[in-house]
Amino acid sequence: MEKKKFSTGKIALIVVGIIVLFILLYTILAYNRFITLEQNINGKWSEVENQYQRQADLIPNLVSTVSSSVRIETRFIKEVTEARSRWQTAKSDFERDAAGVQMNNGISALVNAVAVAENYPVLQANKQYIALTDELSGTQNRITVARGRYIESIQAYNIAIKRFPGNIFARLFGFSGKDYYKAELSAMETPELGTGILP
């Protein structure tokens, strides 16, 4: 009888040990998953910033090319240059992104104004200008793709920390939700088409 009692107690200890081991392993896996997802967000944001940096690096060449062909400082050039400066001095990711969007919008406005401006045939025929606008257009497309991947990585992370039982471990380890990208309306004006004048 005592032998049977002893083996039942041993079985109970083994079952409890297996449960504790399972919880411990799940905790480690959950923590590592949250860390991986969080680092994925950081990596995706770095790619967005990398593309913004590429764009910011091209702006001085664009400004130089436009200024030398047009021989005036247009309002668009000033706005693009100011947006680039704001991007370089921004403190938070959202400030940098907002300034990056302003760079995008300023470049698009400048390129569109030049495209419809009949008064600037020299600029429209300038091979360096054409190459720069192609590079900037490609960079803007890469920014859009990188931002989309960044948003997807935030979504995956937020889902992981809100699903049960991950939400318990997320709270336990201090993982909280991340904010999604929010587009801000640009304060930049669209140029009037067909006037042939760069502001």
Per-residue pLDDT tens over the stretch 54-85: 999 988 888 887 777 665 556 777 888 888 89
Q: Is residue 22's pLDDT more than 80?
A: yes
Q: What gap in Å lies between CA 40 and CA 153, rounded to an integer? A: 6
Q: Is residue 24's pLDDT more than 90?
A: yes
Per-residue pLDDT tens over the stretch 95-135: 888 888 888 888 888 777 776 666 566 666 678 888 888 88
Domains of the chain: 2-173 (1.20.1440.20)
- pLDDT value of residue 151: 92
Across residues 5-20, what is the average pLDDT?
85
Give the chain's mean pLDDT: 82
CB neighbour burial string for 176-194, b if at least 16 within 10 angstroms, e if fewer: eeeeebeeeebebeebeee
Q: Is residue 21's pLDDT more than 90?
A: yes
Return the higher-pLDDT residue of 106 and 42: 42
Q: Is residue 185's pLDDT more than 60?
A: no
Taking the CA atoms of the chain, what radius of gyration do you get in angstroms?
28
Name the DSSP letter for residue 11: H
Supply the pTM of this predicted model: 0.74
- pLDDT value of residue 189: 47
